[in-house]
Structure 1
Amino acid sequence: MSTLRDLLQSHVDKGPMPGAVALVARGDEVELAAVGTTDLGGGTPMARDTIFRIASMTKPITAAAVMTLVDEGRIALDDPLARWLPELSSPSVVRTPSSPVDDVVPAARPITVADLLTSRTGHGFPADFSLPALAPLFSELKQGPPQPQHVAAPDAWMAALSRIPLLHQPGDAWLYNLSSDLQGVLIARVTDRPLPEYLAERLFEPLAMTDTAFAVPPHALDRFTAYYGPDASGAPQLLDAPDGQWSAPPAFPSGAGGLVSTADDWLAFARMLLADGTAPDGRRVLTAASVVRMTTDHLTPAQREAGALFLEGQGWGYGGSVDITPTDPWNVPGRYGWVGGTGTAGHLIPATGAVTILLTQLQMTGPTPPPLTRAFWHHAAAA
């Protein structure tokens, strides 16, 4: 049977991906491989501590931070968001998803914290990206591939959001991405602290996630990858250099996709969830009940079907997908986690205690995971 290194090397050799780091962990047993280099110019060899833009692998981390506030009683799942996000106190909703942005009706009820955690606020991406109400999400809120230095600060961002109608009534539909950015703003408003500061204190420090942040400090830039995407011909083009958009703190720390991290850091986060919310030193990060809520599907069958472009039949917990039925060898009921548009993926399987993490620096071309990601999942399932 081929090793994890063999798998990664075969994909790097075919190009255009310059390198990758991946691990499969079961308890204390970890299979890890680092292949290729951090850039196409033959740069630094990939290593276990190479730092990547993890994109939407940020989402479960942000959701966990929200749940620390629930555990402390500072917010409740049925609380209306308007208590902390007054910009959402009187949202309007387009009459139908295809209606123009000025054809609106009032929201039938307030948006709640539970709506936010399950990505059912009414804001976000559906299967059809051409709907009129989506245009302002790209133009004004800079939703889409992460670009941290181009997004307005939270208060200005929220002011812009208040002028954009919901695509669906609160609670009616699962929509991708924007709810996780709202979670980051909620955390900062409830705690009266910047999101990076709160995440560092409540998650990164207890879990020794020393390389996870919204920017890479100067002393670590030599471990940070370049980031690529396909040009018109399919050839890789540089989207961001190590000294680019993640080399300075952003005005808007994106709870949806702004973090950088390493394989071992995300493994520490996953192991905390597998340990029912407990850090390695015995400190409790989350209650066991909150871990269950995070890793349990909350969607209806109709909502899963409508979100199939992103979910592919999976459900959604808080901040990540939850596998419902086995459709592939790697698709295990209860598997929780998510993929990142920068070419990353992180999952954990509560039933077996396994963790799988794949980190690359090649942008995905759509919501469907690329061939290497699926091959990695199959390898992990067979290992």
Structure 2
Amino acid sequence: MTFAQPRSFSQAWKATDHYFRQTLRDQQVVGGALLFLEKGKVIGHSYVGMADLAPPRAVDAQTIFHWASITKTFTAIALMQLRDRGRLSLDDPLTKYLPELRRVHNPFGSMDDLTLKMALSHSAGFRDPTWPWGGDQPWHPFEPTEWSQLVAMFPYTEILVAPGTRFSYSNPAIIFLGQIIAQLSGDPFEVYMDKNVLKPLGMYHSYYDTTPYHLLRYRANNYTVRDGQPHANGIDFDTGITASNGGLNAPLDDMVKYLNFLTGQPTEYEILKRASLEELWQVQHPIEEVEGVRSSVALSFFVEAFDGMEVIGHTGTQKAFYSFFYVHPTSGTACLGITNTDGDGTDPEQLRRDISHYVFQHLFRLYS
């Protein structure tokens, strides 16, 4: 099926741009961006406010944001690369590669019953937070820095939901997949991702964790509003052992390359077979319906259904960065959004939902 850009797109984008700018202003957001793509081209973009206040730098296409849990979709692609190369099966038990997990208490049965596929679909039953102990002091690490720290707590960890029965979001589950990628590839996780995903996609200014010196001038800060004033939280923070579930930093230009890959635009190198990518988009468990949008979990990706359409994507939340992306592969369209502020007078999670739902109704629906 061939889609042509609707004649009404320019009007719809003009309204969307106004809505986005006004909403960020009302919520005291320091900076943000919203992009809409069609068949490999950015056909609408809004760069709003500041990436950093001191020294002042406006948001633009080169601004490097932190993408938090959107990282998980990259990890899923890497895992499927190894699957396609015959290195693993999604039905393999996690304990085949990480026997340490047998120390976790599973009131529902054996830990050998938990598979890679369950971890990918957030249905293995692990808790949500990576490290629910501490973190309330400024001298605490932002995240655990070593695998041994997680392993030490396995005897104090339990499975909370019967594995494979329903959605239960889990950051540790994706960390385990990152460990498996490193183990099977022989490379540290970040090195494997750079060699096999980021560079082949042409994402040359993207990286995990702390910012290389030559890219510092592009890096966005993030802010918490207190008593009406934004306070910087700092440009860099170490995601440690959790890099596979939330460590990616990338400029908007590089994220456009990722979305183009997801929507089926040609790439110089084959990153992943199209059938394997689409396998990641198959619904595994329902989640909820909010404001007429029905959410389901696939394999690391999420499927949002509304008005007879389905888009595929993910959100990200870390520090004061709040992000989302969605793709509609049938029409080759995609959207990308991010803000860098939380605190007094702001509700960044509702703001993200409002903006993404606005895009669903006013932009994606043009292609239905």
Unaligned runs of 5+ in 2: 1-10
Q: Helix, strand or coil for the counterpart of 1:139?
A: coil
The residue aligned with 1:166 is 159
Distance 2:215 2:296 in 1: 37
Q: CA deviation at 1:371?
A: 3.1
| Match status 1:184 vs 2:168 | no
Q: Contact 1:356 / 1:380 at 8 angstroms: preserved in 2?
A: no
Classify 1:193/1:315 alpha carbon distance in 2 versus 1 (closer, same or farther; 3 Å).
same
The residue aligned with 1:204 is 198
Q: Contact 1:70 / 1:77 at 8 angstroms: preserved in 2?
A: yes
Output the amino acid matched with 1:245. Answer: F
Distance 2:52 2:124 in 1: 39
Classify 1:279/1:378 alpha carbon distance in 2 versus 1 (closer, same or farther; 3 Å).
same
| Match status 1:47 vs 2:32 | no
Aligned equivalent of 1:113, options 107, 113, 116: 116
Aligned equivalent of 1:195, options 186, 189, 209: 189
Cα-to-partner distance string for 1:231-256 (whole Å, 9 max, x where unaligned): 4x6x46435222x315xxx5324222
Q: Contact 2:190 / 2:243 at 8 angstroms: preserved in 1?
A: no
Q: Contact 2:224 / 2:233 at 8 angstroms: preserved in 1?
A: no
Aligned residues: 340
| Match status 1:84 vs 2:97 | yes
Q: Contact 2:325 / 2:334 at 8 angstroms: preserved in 1?
A: yes
Q: CA deviation at 1:106?
A: 4.0
The residue aligned with 2:329 is 350
Task: Decide which moves more: 15-24 or 39-48.
Answer: 39-48
- Equivalent residues in 2 for 1:136-147, closer than 5 Å: 137-139=131-133
Distance 1:380 1:106 in 2: 47
Output the amino acid matched with 1:22. Answer: L
Q: CA deviation at 1:349?
A: 0.8
The residue aligned with 2:257 is 268
The residue aligned with 2:237 is 245
Q: CA deviation at 1:149?
A: 4.3
Aligned equivalent of 1:10, options 17, 22, 25: 22
Distance 2:179 2:337 in 1: 28
- Equivalent residues in 2 for 1:150-161, closer than 5 Å: 150-161=143-154
Distance 1:161 1:152 in 2: 16
The residue aligned with 1:128 is none
Identity of aligned residues (%): 21
- Equivalent residues in 2 for 1:29-40, closer than 5 Å: 29-30=41-42, 31-40=44-53
The residue aligned with 1:336 is 312
| Match status 1:216 vs 2:211 | yes
Distance 1:148 1:63 in 2: 26
Output the amino acid matched with 1:375. Answer: Y
- Equivalent residues in 2 for 1:50-129, closer than 5 Å: 50-89=63-102, 91-93=104-106, 104=107, 106-107=109-110, 110-125=113-128
| Match status 1:23 vs 2:35 | yes
Q: CA deviation at 1:226?
A: 1.2
Q: Helix, strand or coil for the counterpart of 1:150?
A: coil
Classify 1:239/1:43 alpha carbon distance in 2 versus 1 (closer, same or farther; 3 Å).
closer
Distance 2:348 2:47 in 1: 25
Classify 1:382/1:350 alpha carbon distance in 2 versus 1 (closer, same or farther; 3 Å).
closer
Q: CA deviation at 1:24?
A: 0.4
Q: Contact 1:228 / 1:236 at 8 angstroms: preserved in 2?
A: no
Q: Contact 2:142 / 2:237 at 8 angstroms: preserved in 1?
A: yes
Classify 1:236/1:59 alpha carbon distance in 2 versus 1 (closer, same or farther; 3 Å).
farther
Cα-to-partner distance string for 1:322-341 (whole Å, 9 max, x where unaligned): 12x415xxx832x1111112
Q: CA deviation at 1:139?
A: 1.1
Distance 1:37 1:381 in 2: 27
Output the amino acid matched with 1:338. Answer: H
Q: Helix, strand or coil for the counterpart of 2:243?
A: coil
Distance 2:149 2:84 in 1: 29
Task: Decide which moves more: 355-364 or 20-29.
Answer: 355-364
Q: Helix, strand or coil for the counterpart of 1:256?
A: helix
Q: Contact 1:148 / 1:252 at 8 angstroms: preserved in 2?
A: no
Q: CA deviation at 1:263?
A: 2.0
Cα-to-partner distance string for 1:317-376 (whole Å, 9 max, x where unaligned): 1212112x415xxx832x111111221111111121111001221248576534344334
Aligned equivalent of 1:326, options 278, 303, 306: 306
The structure that is strand-richer by fraction is 2
Task: Decide which moves more: 50-59 or 6-15.
Answer: 6-15
- Per the normalisation by structure 2, the TM-score is 0.82
- Per the normalisation by structure 1, the TM-score is 0.79
Distance 2:103 2:266 in 1: 40
The residue aligned with 2:5 is none
Q: Contact 1:108 / 1:169 at 8 angstroms: preserved in 2?
A: no
